[in-house]
Amino acid sequence: MAKGVLTPQAEDFPRWYQDVVARAELADNGPVRGTMVIRPYGYAIWERLQAELDARIKQAGVRNAYFPLLIPESYLRREAEHVEGFSPELAVVTHAGGKELEEPAVVRPTSETIINTYFSKWVQSYRDLPLLVNQWANVVRWELRPRLFLRTTEFLWQEGHTAHATPEDAHRFAIRILSEVYAGVMVDVMAIPVLVGRKTDRERFAGAVTSWTCEGMMGDGKALQMGTSHELGQNFARVFDTTYLTEAGRQEHVWQTSWGASTRLIGALIMAHGDDAGLRIPPRLAPVQVVVLLVRAEDGAGEAAAGLVDELRAAGHRVELDGRVDVSFGRRAIDWELKGVPVRVEIGPRDLAEGTVTLVRRDSGDKQPVAIGEVGPAVGRALTGMQEVLLAEARRHRDARTVEVGTVDEARHAVQEGFARIPWAAMGSDREAVLAQSGVTIRCLQQADGSLVTDPAAAGVVALAARAY
Amino acid sequence: MAKGVLTPQAEDFPRWYQDVVARAELADNGPVRGTMVIRPYGYAIWERLQAELDARIKQAGVRNAYFPLLIPESYLRREAEHVEGFSPELAVVTHAGGKELEEPAVVRPTSETIINTYFSKWVQSYRDLPLLVNQWANVVRWELRPRLFLRTTEFLWQEGHTAHATPEDAHRFAIRILSEVYAGVMVDVMAIPVLVGRKTDRERFAGAVTSWTCEGMMGDGKALQMGTSHELGQNFARVFDTTYLTEAGRQEHVWQTSWGASTRLIGALIMAHGDDAGLRIPPRLAPVQVVVLLVRAEDGAGEAAAGLVDELRAAGHRVELDGRVDVSFGRRAIDWELKGVPVRVEIGPRDLAEGTVTLVRRDSGDKQPVAIGEVGPAVGRALTGMQEVLLAEARRHRDARTVEVGTVDEARHAVQEGFARIPWAAMGSDREAVLAQSGVTIRCLQQADGSLVTDPAAAGVVALAARAY
């Protein structure tokens, strides 16, 4: 229906992405290089993601807090691998209050260093553990090749930071966040069948011992890292001297985790489900699940539309009324398709005279007349159905574009279409580095059956190779 | 009960404040001058404030969005009064991505300039108006005399920005936010009987035409500005060329408002209701409304406590179980008093044998035995009662410490105890400036009956003078 509004995906996928972001009014470029303005509709999606993530994070026993944006430059320098990883991306405040600062302050790229400064004060004994904290915040990492939502100089995220008494406890918690919180929201709410696995040493977070990741396949077959959970070991605890008194009376360093998911998830949503008519938002995530579109305000159609909105809201759906009858019907229909609203209910005087409305599903484009008394149940069924269909479609797409290969050359070829699964023993760090030069990376390591890898050197470990955003 | 834990208010109010912030684990000082760490309990209060404000902001038809943290320095310079007001407080990023920036970027002290850059793109015609946008964000204003929550270099807030077709519409909206959103939350949720009025020219926001404010009286009789709503006229619209096509086909500049409330509200909460035992949080605001405190886990007390928690949660209350029986009962009771939890339900084997628990109210300290089957209704009554009592107490305190005066000398004397109401005609801008040198400011102008001032020069306008935070 919306032909010509967007560049077709098959013609130019990156251009299609840009078109959707602009036309669905999700975001604009900011004036400072790589920054972005998240427009109300884009932000409404983010608020829904926040709500879903936040509820699960709290369910895991984590409490929200807030740590300062500005970090003394010296803090980042304390952990060698960490500063090396972030130095090229830092934004630095050198002047404030009309004067040059004695010590420059870094705009946080992530908060391990400042949070450990406080953990080391707050943790005294084993009774204080585990300490489970999360913050919703903005972070800044200077981007040379920015792309809205996917790579931006400033982005919004949550970053969780925890301290534990044992490495086993830290490991279990990192995995719990990865599977229950991240994969939970991504699969059950976003309808994206992410692969869960372990990062290679090359792709590990700067300062972590082990990094875990959720990787989604986008519409063009490329991978997107959607959330990561890190075991930090005692790296930061040693540097910031975060110790606790054990039950046996010894002083020991704590074992830590950190984990984050960001506004990049909006990019994943766009690219995992979008089509040539625009966004397609899974109903559980959609800020607007149903739009009631008034065709013309004649013969009681306006009243019928308002009544339907009330009825659908009372049933617990998120509903918007489009009564802009001075704008053409076609233009409005295209607009709601662009915005990916799952169900459209069209009410016009002609249908109404026959006691029906037209129900249009965004996933399939199916239109059907529905008796006005049946709209409530029909909308409920459509929302449930579309949630399932989008997940099933995404799973089929992913599986169809994933191939098993035995050599690096085969992998290099296969990733032009999607994911390549290759025995890690046939790959290894050296070949991984070579492959990376042509833009192909190992997204994660898994057991052959998709389960989590304990020892990357063990037999049967499979590497997932892909081009990635 | 908690004597000796905190400095008594009467002895040293500022010290008492610091003690409460530290002992109730609300916040810590950050490493960069004037920044703060908001600890989980402090942040839980902020989340409750956010939820209450956000619901009312959305109810007013405003949509949330997000604008960049970093603003090109030149943007701030465009509006003369605005840059003059903020220049001494700016933090400036001069280096990023390993290089010196061509143009320094300011860390936002407020977002009028960057938001107008986008409003000027988004607004075309009268159909696009009113444009109503809000963001939840951090801002940075360099503070030379920081105090946790009250004046911090970085703070969290919401800032609303709107554009309207007429000055009347902008005025009505600024007042709607002031009264329905801000005064609504402050009075009905925070139980602080704020005074609502108009700022004098001297106290006006830099770049505004008219500033409106909510002023609360703290426990020591000083005033705290708790939220402001500004009419910006066409000042920013002219500078950023934000115009719209009227229905009559003319191009006109929009009329704007901006309005904000911040983590400073937590400071207001502490100082308006706190006593020598710590915080007292109004039940509607409290992140924990009821704590069920298990005295000893014997003879089924643990099971009874858990059952009670379930029952109270099912009734819709926010409940926490304190089962830390290895910490002394007295220490735990003091801790919950410090944290200001409205109702404490103490369950011990001895009471339980008699079929009762002890219910303790934080406002009055009243303790009474309650039959275990009656706890639900008794807690409900206690929460409703405490909400009313705190508001009534604060109102009495405010009224008792407010005096009518006729001269500036009388005002200077009266503000040692609280607020002085003086005819604005007997004050005027010149005397206001002199008074300000001794730390006394005009908090707002009101009509004699407390209603809003249209014309500050009109007869009967009263100035509210006070020492302020």
Inter-chain CB proximity B43 and A32 less than 8 Å = no
pLDDT top residue among A87 and A339: A339
User: Can you give the pLDDT at residue A351?
Assistant: 87
Helix count and strand count (H, E) for chain A: 14, 23
Residues of chain B in contact with residue A95, where contact means CB-CB under 8 angstroms, are 91-92, 94, 104
Summarised one tens digit per residue, pLDDT across range B146-201 is 999 999 999 999 999 999 999 999 999 999 999 999 999 999 999 999 999 999 99
Q: What band does A364 get if pLDDT is binned at 50, 70 and 90?
A: very high
Predicted confidence (pLDDT) at residue B137 exceeds the cutoff of 80: yes
Residues of chain B in contact with residue A75, where contact means CB-CB under 8 angstroms, are 31
SS (H, E, C) B76-118: HHCCHHHHHHHHHHCEEEEEECCEEEEEEEEECCCCHHHHHHH
Inter-chain CB proximity B93 and A91 less than 8 Å = yes
User: Can you give the pLDDT at residue B3?
Assistant: 57
- The reply to whether B136 touches chain A by the CB within 8 Å rule is no
Summarised one tens digit per residue, pLDDT across range B65-79 is 999 999 999 999 998
Summarised one tens digit per residue, pLDDT across range A413-463 is 999 999 999 999 999 999 999 999 999 999 999 999 989 999 999 999 999
Inter-chain CB proximity B118 and A28 less than 8 Å = yes
Predicted confidence (pLDDT) at residue A400 exceeds the cutoff of 70: yes
User: Can you give the pLDDT at residue A385?
Assistant: 98
Inter-chain CB proximity A32 and B117 less than 8 Å = no
Tokens (6 digits) for B431 = 């005397």
User: Can you give the pLDDT at residue A1?
Assistant: 46
Inter-chain CB proximity A37 and B67 less than 8 Å = yes
Predicted confidence (pLDDT) at residue B446 exceeds the cutoff of 70: yes
Inter-chain CB proximity B72 and A36 less than 8 Å = no
The pLDDT of A110-137, averaged and rounded, is 97
Asked if residue B130 has a cis previous peptide bond (ω within 30° of 0), the answer is yes
Predicted confidence (pLDDT) at residue A2 exceeds the cutoff of 70: no
DSSP string, B307-350: HHHHHHHHTT--EEEE--TTS-HHHHHHHHHHTT-SEEEEE-HH
Inter-chain CB proximity A98 and B88 less than 8 Å = yes
Inter-chain CB proximity A65 and B35 less than 8 Å = no
The pLDDT of A196-206, averaged and rounded, is 96
User: Can you give the pLDDT at residue B5?
Assistant: 85
Residues of chain A in contact with residue B138, where contact means CB-CB under 8 angstroms, are 69, 137-138
Inter-chain CB proximity B94 and A90 less than 8 Å = no
State which residue of chain B sits closest to A105, comparing Cα positions: B32
State which residue of chain A sits closest to B263, comparing Cα positions: A66
User: Can you give the pLDDT at residue B464?
Assistant: 97
Inter-chain CB proximity B138 and A140 less than 8 Å = no
Instruction: Give how far the C-alpha of residue A445 lies from the chain's centroid of Cα atoms, to the nearest Å.
Output: 20
User: ipTM strictly over 0.95?
Assistant: yes
Task: Return all residues near B216 (Cβ < 8 A) that are at least 6 apart.
Answer: B186, B192, B193, B194, B195, B223, B224, B226, B268, B272
CB B442 within 8 A of CB B421: no
Tokens (6 digits) for A308 = 């339907």
CB pairs under 8 A between A and B: 159
Inter-chain CB proximity B97 and A69 less than 8 Å = no
CB A462 within 8 A of CB A421: yes
Inter-chain CB proximity A97 and B107 less than 8 Å = no
Compute, in degrees rounded to 10, the torsion defined by CA atoms A387, A391, A397, A402.
Answer: 170
In a 3-state reduction of DSSP, which class is residue A137?
A: strand
* Number of residues that this document lists for chain B: 469
The partner residues of A314 in beta bridges, in order of sequence, read none
B271 phi/psi in degrees, rounded to 5:
-80, -20
Minimum-distance CB partner of A64 among B31, B43, B92 = B43
The one-character DSSP state at A17 is H
Asked if residue B369 has a cis previous peptide bond (ω within 30° of 0), the answer is no
pLDDT top residue among A125 and A80: A125
Instruction: Give how far the C-alpha of residue B191 lies from the chain's centroid of Cα atoms, to the nearest Å.
Output: 12
The partner residues of B294 in beta bridges, in order of sequence, read B347
DSSP string, B145-210: S-BTTTB-SEEEEEEEEEEESSHHHHHHHHHHIIIIIIIIIIIIIT----EEEE--GGGS-TT-SE
Predicted confidence (pLDDT) at residue A376 exceeds the cutoff of 60: yes
- CA nearest neighbour of B192 among B165, B160, B225: B225
- CA nearest neighbour of A287 among A218, A372, A189, A154: A189
Q: What band does B455 get if pLDDT is binned at 50, 70 and 90?
A: very high
- The reply to whether B47 touches chain A by the CB within 8 Å rule is yes
In a 3-state reduction of DSSP, which class is residue A40?
A: helix
Residues of chain A in contact with residue B144, where contact means CB-CB under 8 angstroms, are 97
Minimum-distance CB partner of A138 among B105, B138, B144 = B138
Summarised one tens digit per residue, pLDDT across range B13-27 is 999 999 999 999 999
Summarised one tens digit per residue, pLDDT across range B232-266 is 999 999 999 999 999 999 999 999 999 999 999 99
User: Can you give the pLDDT at residue B1?
Assistant: 46
State which residue of chain B sits closest to A101, comparing Cα positions: B91
Chain A contact probe: residue of B69, B113, B144, B151 with most A CBs at under 10 A:
B69
B98 phi/psi in degrees, rounded to 5:
80, 5
Single pTM value for the model = 0.97
User: Can you give the pLDDT at residue A393?
Assistant: 98
Residues 199-258 of B with CB under 8 A from A: none
Residues of chain A in contact with residue B95, where contact means CB-CB under 8 angstroms, are 91-92, 94, 104
Summarised one tens digit per residue, pLDDT across range A366-375 is 999 999 999 9
Summarised one tens digit per residue, pLDDT across range B414-428 is 999 999 999 999 999
User: Can you give the pLDDT at residue A298?
Assistant: 85
Minimum-distance CB partner of B32 among A72, A94, A133 = A72
Q: What band does B229 get if pLDDT is binned at 50, 70 and 90?
A: very high
Average confidence score pLDDT of chain A: 96
- The reply to whether A145 touches chain B by the CB within 8 Å rule is no
Look up tokens 């956000």; give the residue: B54
Q: What band does A82 get if pLDDT is binned at 50, 70 and 90?
A: confident
User: Can you give the pLDDT at residue A3?
Assistant: 57
User: Can you give the pLDDT at residue B298?
Assistant: 85
Predicted confidence (pLDDT) at residue B2 exceeds the cutoff of 60: no
Inter-chain CB proximity A35 and B91 less than 8 Å = no
Chain A contact probe: residue of B83, B92, B132 with most A CBs at under 10 A:
B92
Minimum-distance CB partner of A142 among B96, B133, B142 = B96
Inter-chain CB proximity B44 and A67 less than 8 Å = no
Summarised one tens digit per residue, pLDDT across range A152-161 is 999 999 999 9
Inter-chain CB proximity B98 and A105 less than 8 Å = no
CB A155 within 8 A of CB A262: yes
Average confidence score pLDDT of chain B: 96
> How near does any CA of chain B get to the CA of A118, in Å?
9
